[in-house]
Amino acid sequence: MSRVLITGSTDGLGLMAAQRLTDQGHDVVLHARNDVRADDARAALPSAAAVVVGDLSSIAQTRGVAEQANALGSFDAVIHNAGVGYREPRRLETEDGIEHVFAINVLAPYLLTALINRPKRLVYLSSGMHRSGEPRLDDLQWTARPWNGAQAYADSKLYDVMLAFGIARRWSDVLSNALEPGWVATKMGGPSAPDNLALGSVTQAWLAVSDDPAATVTGGYFYHQRPRSTHPAARSAALQDELITRCTGLSSVPLPEPHTTR
């Protein structure tokens, strides 16, 4: 049995992955944005071990999520599922002065990666739209460009792959991978999404717990349990390192140093 934390798991793919894992006998901790959503999560999946609560647009609350998670003990895997979509308008910056799509989709998983006691596996949800992303690390806040919600989302999903690969390079004792679940009919994907919703949660659950040799790799990118090509920039060690440096600067939270042995 594995212990797995899934962010953004009150509904959609996160809840589906949680249900899949609990059905397999694994110990799953959910995450909700607030107490109302936490109650919804408990009602939707009574078999969940616990629910951690915090708004991932806030650095302080994201720190709180990490503290709650660490208080529960160690995890075998963390699935970074939470995110906002490509239909987002440009809102005012978060309470920390950070553009909100980047704050939720990229900075929050970085922070949780840095602050949660290191698990054996990390799984980052990306999107096929990441291939349209631009690695504009000089304009993460969209101050030099007119706002484009679809582009901001695509960029953020590219950064998620870069983060997964950067962690894989730095932490040899952790299996760190990214995936695209497909364009499925969730709140984010919309009702006309063509991909198979039932398959949307399979790959993240598989990467989190499976002993299949195909799942026990690191630095991979997957779609429906098969390797898939990525944006070429995702493999750039220099861009990975710059993204991590910028996340460190924005959050004032450094990424812990590598362990020396697996």
pLDDT digits (tens, 9 = 90+) for 121-149: 999 999 999 999 999 899 998 889 898 99
CB neighbour burial string for 197-211, b if at least 16 within 10 angstroms, e if fewer: beebbbbbbbbbbbe
pLDDT reported for residue 250: 96
What are phi and psi for residue 73, nearest 5 degrees?
A: 110, -170
How far apart CA 52 and CA 3 sit, in angstroms, is 14
What's at 245, amino acid-wise? T
Sign of CA pseudo-dihedral 66, 72, 74, 79: negative
Closest by alpha carbon to 15, among 187, 168, 196, 218? 187
Q: How many angstroms separate the Cα of 245 from the Cα of each of 106, 138, 253, 255? A: 13, 12, 10, 9
How far apart CA 227 and CA 214 sit, in angstroms, is 9
45 close to 51: Cβ distance less than 8 angstroms = no
Report residue 262's pLDDT band, with 50, 70 and 90 as the boundaries.
Answer: very low
Report residue 94's pLDDT band, with 50, 70 and 90 as the boundaries.
Answer: confident
Looking at the predicted structure, is the pLDDT value of residue 45 above 60? yes
The model's pLDDT over 183-238, given as tens digits with 9 standing for 90+, comes to: 544 555 455 544 556 777 999 999 999 999 999 999 999 999 999 999 999 999 99
Closest by alpha carbon to 95, among 148, 54, 35? 54
**Which one is catalytic: 120, 124, 157, 159?**
157
Report residue 87's pLDDT band, with 50, 70 and 90 as the boundaries.
Answer: low
Collapsing DSSP to helix, strand or coil, 10 comes out as coil
Q: What is the DSSP letter of 103?
A: I
**Which one is catalytic: 86, 153, 159, 221?**
153
pLDDT reported for residue 185: 44
Q: Respond yes or no: is residue 157 known to be catalytic.
A: yes
Percent of the chain exceeding pLDDT 70 equals 89
Which class is domain 3-251?
Answer: alpha beta
Q: Respond yes or no: is residue 187 known to be catalytic.
A: no
pLDDT reported for residue 86: 66
How far apart CA 255 and CA 238 sit, in angstroms, is 16
124 close to 109: Cβ distance less than 8 angstroms = yes
Q: How many angstroms separate the Cα of 39 from the Cα of each of 12, 53, 124, 214, 237? A: 16, 10, 25, 36, 41
> Where in the chain are the domains?
3-251
